[in-house]
Structure 1
Amino acid sequence: MTRMTRRHFLRDVGLTGAAATIPWLPAWAQPVSAGIVAPLPTVSGPDIALRVAHRMMMIDGKPSHAIGINGTTPAPLIRLRQGQTARLSVTNDLDEETSIHWHGLLVPFQMDGVPGISFPGIAARSTFTYEFPVIQAGTYWYHSHSGLQEQMGHYGPIVIDPAGVDPIASDREHVIVLSDHSPMHPHRIFQKLKQQGGYFNYQKQTLAGLVSGKDQPLGDRLMWGGMRMDPTDVSDVTGSTYTYLVNGHGPGDNWTALFQPSERVRLRIVNASAMTTFNVRIPGLKLTIVQADGLNVRPVAVDEFQIAVAETYDVIVEPDARAYSLIAEAWDRSGMARATLAPSAGMVAPVPALRKRPLATMKDMGMGGMGDMSGMGHDMPATSAPCPPEHAAMGHCKPAAASGDMLGMSHDGATMSHSMRDFANAPELPRTPTVQTVSPMPMDRTGEPPQGLADIGQEAGYKVLVYRDLVALDRNPDLRAPSRQMRIHLTGNMERYMWAFDGVKLNEVKAPIPFRQGERVRVTLVNDTMMAHPIHLHGHFFELVTGHGDHAPRKHTINVAPGGTATFDLTADAVGDWAFHCHMLYHMHAGMMQVVTVRPAGETGAEA
C-alpha cells in the first residue's frame, strides 16, 4: 500500500499542476478538465452514409472499447426536416450482423430495423439502405436492435425540424445524449446477472446503516428478509461498473454547452442508456418541459424530472451570466453524469454530492392500496381467525401455529414470497418460473413522483415532474372511445433473471399480439415486479390515460412504476409487425419482448 503523504495529496488534488485522478473519490467527484466544448458531429441531407465499426473512445482520460458510427460514439446527430424523404445507407464493418432502429419515427415496418421481425438485419461487410418519408418533427434517436450492441455505443440522436414555424421559441439549442458505459463486455454483464441478480448492487443495507438510522428499522428489515426481497435492489446494473456519460464524455471530461446571457436555451435530452434511468436537474435553474418523446406539450416548469431509458424530453432554460452544472443522477444514486452550461469555455460550477440512495416501499411491491405499512403490526398477537399469507407477510396478523411458515415456499421451482404470489389477483397468468410475484393491489402511479423522488417532490417549493403534468399542445388526432381493452402483466424472476410479458418470454411466444388496422384499444400495463420498466411500442404513438381528455399526452415509451399500473389508448394505424418490449436492454434480452401485428380488417389473423 502506498503511504499517503502531503506531497501525494497535493499532487492528486491538482494543486501542483493539471487535475489528476484521485483514486479514493468516485467519478462524479473527481477533478474535472477545463471543459470539452464539442457539439456532436452532424449529418443531414437527403442522402446520408453511416458506417458501423469498432473503435476506441476516451472516457475521463481512459481508453475504452466501443462501437461507433462514422468514427464517433455517440453516433452522429442526424438532422432531418419534416416532409423530406430520407435515404440512409448503413455499412456494417463489424464481424457480426447489425441493424438500426429509428426510435420513435413513424416509418414503414420494413424500415423499422428489427432483425427477425421487420427485416433480416445487415450482414457483416454489407450495406443496407433505409428509405422512408419523414412525416413528423421533434427529438428522437436511433440504435442497434442486434444483440447487445447498444450497450457498446451503437446509438445516436435524431432531430427533425418542423416544416413550418417551430412553436417552441429558442435562441440556441444543445443536444444532450445521456448513456451508460462499462469496460465489462455486455455479454459478461448479462452472465453476471443470470448468476446473481443483485451482483452489481453495492449499496445493500448494513449493520452500520441500521445503527445510524440511515437504513430501514430492524422490524422492516426482518419482514423484507422473510420475503426474500431486498429494498435496495432498485437498479440491475449500477455505478459499480458503469460510467455515466453526456455526449460520450464522463464526469471528469466536463462536457460544456455554451450560451449567451439572456438567451432561451433549448436542451434536447435523450436517454440512450442501456439500463439507467436518470434524475435530471440544473441547480439554480428552473426547467420548462416543452416536449416529451418528440411531441410538443404545454410548457410545465419543474425543478427536476426523471427520464427513463429510451425517453426524450425537450427543456427550455434561461440562464444568467454564470456557469451551471447539469446533473443526471442515476436513479439508484450510484453515480451521475454531469456537464456544464456556461457563457464561456473553462468555467465550472459546484457539483452536488450524490443523494441518499432510495429504498423500495410497499407500493413498489404492489401493495399501494394498503398505504405505507412500515413498522406496523410487528407485535400483533396471534389470532384464531384466518390469516392470509399476504397479511401475515406484512405483520397484520400471525397465522395459527398449524398453518406453518408460509414464507419462502417454492412453486414451479422458484422460491418466492406468497405475499405477492396470489394468482387470484391475476388468474390469466400462467404458472411459470417467470412469474415470481403478482402485485396484490397495483395502482396507477402516474400522478406521483417517480421512484426515489417521492420525498424530494414533497419539499416546499420544489417541483418534480410527474406524467400527469404532461398535456399535449395539440388536440389528439383520434378521439374515439376504445372498442376493447387489454391487460398485460410485466413479470419477472429476479433470482433467475428472467423477464417477460404475461409470464411468457419471447422465445416461448406462440403467436403475436393481434390488432385490426384502425381499431382503438385501451391497454393497461400491470407491473408485477419491484423494478420500473420503460415499455416501448414500435411504429405507434399512444395517448396516456391521465385525465386530460382530447389533449392526452402522446408517447412511444412509458415507464411503469414498480408495483404500479399505466394505461394508454392506442390507435393501431400502422399495418405490419412491430416490436413491443421493455427498453431495459438486459430485460429485453432476457425475454421481456413480444411482437404486435396489425392487419387490415377482415384479413386472416387480424381479429383479436
Structure 2
Amino acid sequence: MSGAIDRRSLLAAGGAAALVPWLPAWAQPIASGLPTVGGADIRLTIAHRMLTADGKTSHAIGINGTIPGPLVRLKEGTTARLHVTNALPAEDSSIHWHGLILPFHMDGVPGISFPGIAPGATFTYEFPVRQSGTYWYHSHSGLQEQMGHYGPIVIDPADPDPVAYDREHVIVLSDHSALHPHAIFKKLKQMGGYFNHNKQTLAGLIAGRDQPLNDRVAWGAMRMDPTDISDVTAAAYTYLVNGHGPADNWTGLFAAGERVRLRIINASAMTTFNIRVPDLAMTVVQADGLNVRPVRVSEFQIGVAETYDVIVEPEDRAYSIIAENSDRSGMARATLAPRPGMTAPVPPLRARPLATMRDMGMGDMGMDHGAMGHGMTAPGEPMRHSMRDMKSAPTVKDTPAVQSISPTPVDRTGEPGQGLEDVADALTYRDLVALDRNPDTRVPSREMQIHLTGNMERYMWAFDGVKMNEVTAPIPFTLGERVRVTLVNDTMMTHPIHLHGHFFELVTGKGDHAPRKHTVNVQPGGKVTFDLTADAPGDWAFHCHLLYHMHAGMMQVVTVRAAEDVA
C-alpha cells in the first residue's frame, strides 16, 4: 500500500467523533482525509459559504463547498483539464496553480496572464503535467485567498517515487479571520502595528522579558518596534489545519510501524509558521515539490506559499502537530494518532521573539550606536533616507515606500528563522541539497539585485521603492539566459518571494545539487541569492506572498522573451 492513503481507516474515522460524546460537536476530533478530485476532466466551483472553526462561524469563500478546496490529484506525464466556474455573484475570480510549470496564459493571474473569470462564467485551464510533488492552488483576485479560496495539489510521479512511505496526510495550514480582508487591510493602513497586542511593557522590563532600557530607547529613537514580527496576529486570526481550528483537533490516523508522509502546505495569507511534532523527529524529503536529500530535523520554519514533505515514524501513541505563528501569538494544532479519539499534550506558546539589530540589516554590528553613520539616523530623527544615503543600493528609488535601507545585510540562509535561533536541529536553507542534479549548471551571464522595501508606518511595500501601480516597465529577461539574482531585505519583516512559472537554485554552496525552489523566505535585514534560468516565455507575476504586502504594492511583472523578440 506504499504511497496510498488508507481509505478504510479514513472511513472508520468518519464516525469516530461519536466515541467522544463529552466534547461539544464542534470540538470533536475531525477525521483524516480531504475530498479529492482527479481524472481527465476536473470541475471546480468557487462560491460563498460559511466556515465554522472552533465553534465560531463566519463568512468565507470555498471551492466545491469546502475550505480548503478539494485535493487536486494529478499524474506526471498526463494533461490536466480543469473547468473552473465562478459562482460568486458580483466579483471576478481566478485560480493560480502555485509552483506548476505551465504556459503563461494558464497561470491564472488576472491582468497578466488572462482576464480573470467573470461571475457565472467557466474557464478551462489545460496544460501538460510536467512535474511531481506537493503544490497548491489559490485565488489571485483581490483578497479572496484570505477568505478560504485555496486548496492542495499532489502530483504523483510517473516513475517510482524515491521516497518510501506507507501512508500520507496532506496538511494545509492557513489563517482565517471573521474580519473581512478589506477591513484588515484598512486597519493596517491606519496603523501598521494595529494587530500587535504583544508590545513591550514596563512589567516586561522589570521581569526581564523585554529589552533593557537603553536598547528600548535606541529602538524608540529609530521609530522601530522589536516586537513587530507579524503584521496580522492571533488578535485577528484563528490558525487552521485543513480548515479546522486548534480546538477542532483535526486528526490523522496511522498504524504503528508505518512511515507516514506529511505533505505540509502553508496556504495562509500572512502567517509564517514554525512546525514541530513534540517527541517525534521529522525527516525532510521534499521542498517546494522537489525531492531533497533526507535531512533529519526537530523543527522548521515554513514561509507563506512554501511546501515541505516530511517523513515521521510514530510509535503506538498520539502526537500533536504544532504550527506556531513565528510571533508566537497563536498556533494551529492537529493530532497524529493510531486510533480515533486519542489526543496528545499541547505545549503552551513559547515566549515571543524580539527583533535585533541583525533584523535591521546591521549584520553583526550589534547595538553599536556608532552604526548610525551607516545609514541609520540620530536619536529623534525619523528613519528616512535620501538618494545620497543609498550608494550601496543604486536601484532603490527615494519614495515613501522606503523607510530604511539595510546598511550591512548578510546572507541568512544558514539561520532557521525568527524564534528558532536556539532550537537544536532546526532546518535551514543550507541544509537542503537537491536529490537530483540541477538541470542547468551554467555560470550566470549577468547579475542583478532587487531590494525589498517598505514603510510600516504608512503600510507601503515595494520592490526597489516602486509599488506595482507605479511600475513603468516589467523586469526583462531573455529566453534561456542564466541570471544570478540577489534579494536584499531592507525591512524588519520576513518576505516570502515567489516567481511564477519558474524554479530557481539557491546559492548556498551546494554546487550542481543546489536546492531548487519557487518561493524563498528572505529574513529581515538579510539577503538571498539564487540562480535563475529564464526558460518560460511570457509574462509572469513576481511578488511577496504576504497577501497584504502584495496588495500594498510589493509585486512586479517579469517578462521572458526570445532574443529576436526583444526590441
Specify if TM > 0.5: yes
CA distance in 2, matches of 1:419, 1:208: 38
Compute the displacement of 1:64 (Å).
1.5
| Residue type at the aligned position of 1:121 | G
Listed as ranges, the matches of 1:216-255 within 5 Å are 216-255=211-250
Instruction: Tell whether 2:147 aligns with 1:152.
Output: yes
Matches within 5 A, 1:437-586: 437-456=404-423, 462-586=424-548
Quote the Cα distance in structure 2 between the aligned partners of 1:419 and 1:19.
Answer: 60
**SS of the residue 1:425 aligns to:** coil
Question: 1:536, 1:581 within 8 Å by CA — same for their partners in 2?
Answer: yes
Post-superposition offset of 1:601: 1.2
- State the distance in 2 between where 1:55 and 1:390 align: 55
Query: Contact 2:285–2:311 at 8 Å: present in 1 too?
Result: yes
Aligned residue for 1:10? none
Aligned equivalents of 1:217, 1:591: Cα separation in 2: 36
Which residue does 2:372 correspond to in 1?
389
Q: Deviations over 1:536-560 (max 9, x none)?
A: 0000000000000000000000000
In structure 1, C-alpha distance between the alignment counterparts of 2:230 and 2:503, rounded to whole Å: 27
- Distance in 2 (CA, whole Å) between partners of 1:133 and 1:257 is 32
Q: Helix, strand or coil: the match of 1:586?
A: helix
Q: Would the alpha carbon gap of residues 388 and 212 (structure 1) be closer, same or farther in structure 2, given more than 3 Å must change?
A: closer
Q: For 1:33 and 1:188, how far apart are their aligned partners in 2?
A: 29
Q: Unaligned 5+ residue runs, structure 2?
A: 1-20
**How many residues in Structure 1 have an aligned counterpart in Structure 2?**
546
Following superposition of structure 1 onto structure 2, how do residues 146-225 of structure 1 map, counting pairs within 5 Å? 146-225=141-220
Amino acid at match of 2:45: R
Residue 369 of structure 1: CA displacement? 3.9
Per-residue CA deviation, residues 261-313 of structure 1 (Å, 9 max, x unaligned), is 00000000000000000000000100000000000000000000000000000
Counterparts of 1:106 and 1:171, CA distance in 2: 28
Shift of 1:569: 0.1
SS in 1 for 2:183: helix
- Which runs of structure 2 are paired with 1:108-127 in the superposition (5 Å)? 108-127=103-122
Distance 2:58 2:104 in 1: 35
| Counterpart-to-counterpart distance in 2, 1:420 and 1:255 | 52
Letter of the structure 1 residue corresponding to residue 78 of structure 2: Q
- Code of the aligned partner of 1:454: E
Is the CA contact (8 Å cut-off) linking 1:408 and 1:418 kept in structure 2? Answer: no
Structural RMSD (CA): 1.7
Question: CA-to-partner distance for each residue in 1:9-60, whole Å, 9 max, x for gaps?
Answer: xxxxxxxx83469xxxxxxxxxx93411141100000100000000012111
Tell me what 2:300 maps to: 305
- The verdict on how the C-alpha distance between 1:388 and 1:307 changes in structure 2, with shifts beyond 3 A counting, is closer
Larger Rg: 1
Q: CA deviation at 1:65?
A: 0.9
C-alpha separation between the residues in 1 aligned to 2:141 and 2:371? 46
How far does the alpha carbon of each residue in 1:469-500 deviate from its partner, in whole angstroms, 9 at most, with x for none?
00000000001000000000000000000000
Residue equivalent to 1:59? 53
Contact 2:291 2:435 (8 Å CA) reproduced? yes
Instruction: Give 1:56's aligned amino acid.
Output: M
State the shift of 1:424 in Å. Answer: 2.6
SS in 1 for 2:359: helix
Q: TM-score, normalised by structure 1?
A: 0.88
Partner of 2:10: none
SS in structure 2 at match of 1:368: coil
2:79–2:127 contact (8 Å) kept in structure 1: yes
Partner of 2:101: 106
Q: Is the CA contact (8 Å cut-off) linking 1:500 and 1:593 kept in structure 2?
A: yes
Alignment of 1:85-100 (within 5 A): 85-94=79-88, 95-100=90-95
Instruction: State the alpha-carbon separation in 2 of the partners of residues 538 and 267 from structure 1.
Output: 25
CA contact (8 A) 1:389 1:419 kept: no
Distance 1:471 1:356 in 2: 32
**Whole-Å separation in 2 of the counterparts to 1:548 and 1:302:** 19
Shift of 1:431: 1.0
Q: Report whether the alignment pairs 1:39 with 2:3.
A: no
Is 1:406 the equivalent of 2:373? no
1:600 maps to: 562
Q: Is the 8 A contact 2:27 2:55 kept in 1?
A: no
SS of residue matched to 2:184: helix
Shift of 1:429: 1.4
Q: Measure the CA separation in 2 of the matches of 1:71 and 1:568.
A: 39
Alpha carbons of 1:286 and 1:421: their partners in 2 closer, same or farther (altered >3 Å)?
farther
Give the superposition deviation at 1:418: 6.4
Counterpart of 1:124 in 2: which secondary structure? Answer: coil
- What is the CA-CA distance between 1:417 and the residue it aligns to? 5.6
TM-score by length of 2: 0.94
Letter in 1 for 2:399: T
Q: Note if contact 2:504-2:516 (Cα within 8 Å) is conserved in structure 1.
A: yes
Distance 1:231 1:481 in 2: 40
- Is 1:365–1:420's contact at 8 Å kept on the other side of the alignment? no
Q: Indicate how the Cα distance of structure 1 residues 234 and 419 shifts in structure 2: closer, same or farther if over 3 A, else same.
A: farther
Aligned counterpart in structure 2 of residue 423 of structure 1, from 380, 390, 395: 390
Residue 356 of structure 2 aligns to a residue in which SS? coil
Tell me how far apart the structure 1 counterparts of residues 285 and 387 of structure 2 sit (CA, whole Å).
39
> Is the alpha carbon distance of 1:528 and 1:184 closer, same or farther for their aligned partners in structure 2, counting shifts above 3 Å?
same
Q: Deviations over 1:352-409 (max 9, x none)?
A: 0000000000110000142x33xx67xxxxxxxxx7733796xxxxxxxxxxx93444
1:327-342 to structure 2, matched below 5 A, reads: 327-342=322-337
Distance, in Å, in 1 between the alignment partners of 2:372 and 2:140 is 42
Asked if structure 2 preserves the Cα contact closer than 8 Å seen for 1:407 and 1:417, the reply is no
1:452 Cα deviation after fit: 1.3
Q: Which residue of 2 aligns with 1:588?
A: 550
SS in 1 for 2:564: coil
Tell me what 1:18 maps to. 22
Contact in 1 for aligned 2:263/2:309 (Cα 8 Å): yes
> 1:215 is aligned with what amino acid?
D
CA contact (8 A) 1:442 1:526 kept: yes
* C-alpha distance after superposition, 1:300-359 (max 9, x if no partner): 000000000000000000000000000000000000000000001100000000000000
Q: Are 2:32 and 2:253, in contact at CA under 8 Å, matched by a contact in 1?
A: no
C-alpha contact 1:421 1:438 (8 A) present in aligned 2:
no
Match for 2:422: what amino acid? D
Gap runs ≥5 in structure 1: 1-16, 22-31, 378-386, 394-404, 410-414, 457-461
**What SS class does the counterpart of residue 204 from structure 2 fall into?**
helix
Shift of 1:171: 0.2
Deviation at 1:63?
1.3
Say if 2:505 and 2:530, in contact at 8 Å, map to a contact too.
yes
**Distance in 1 between the 2:431 and 2:338 partners?**
31
1:565 Cα deviation after fit:
0.3
Is residue 84 of structure 2 the alignment partner of residue 77 of structure 1? no
CA distance in structure 1 between the aligned counterparts of 2:371 and 2:158, rounded to whole angstroms: 61
8 Å Cα contact 2:505-2:531 kept in structure 1: yes
The one-letter amino acid paired with 2:50 is M
Contact 1:450–1:561 (8 Å) recurs in 2:
yes
